[in-house]
Amino acid sequence: MRVELLVTRDSSACRKAELVWQSICEKNNLTLRVIDDTGPEGRRVLARLALNALPAILLDGQLVAVGVQTEAQATELLRAAGNSNP
């Protein structure tokens, strides 16, 4: 499963989300890919998904949540997306 977190670097909410998702990914043997919204890829993802709020979590390229999740919420998102580990 591909786990991507779209962030803006100057946001405390994005930093919190990154900590939560990094922990969840480590527990589930997944790699978290953090995408900065100011880079070319980040701008493409923002445009493709018509996002105007961050952080945003994508699982296998699909937007599943915007904002900061708790570890329990993040685990449930992985479970719902079909990851067998949580």
* 48-57: pLDDT as tens digits: 999 989 999 9
Q: Which amino acid is at 18?
A: E
CATH of the domain at 45: 3.40.30.10
pLDDT at 31: 96
Distance from C-alpha of 26 to C-alpha of 48, rounded to nearest angstrom = 28
Q: Is residue 84 part of a domain?
A: no
pLDDT at 86: 43
Q: Is residue 86 part of a domain?
A: no
Using the predicted structure, report yes or no on whether residue 16 has a pLDDT greater than 50.
yes
Residues 6+ apart with CB under 8 A from 19: none
Distance from C-alpha of 38 to C-alpha of 60, rounded to nearest angstrom = 21
pLDDT at 37: 95
Q: Is residue 85 part of a domain?
A: no
Q: Is residue 23 part of a domain?
A: yes
Q: What is the residue range of 57's domain?
A: 3-68
Using the predicted structure, report yes or no on whether residue 85 has a pLDDT greater than 50.
no
Domain count across the chain: 1
pLDDT at 29: 95
36 or 86: which carries more pLDDT confidence?
Answer: 36
Using the predicted structure, report yes or no on whether residue 66 has a pLDDT greater than 70.
yes
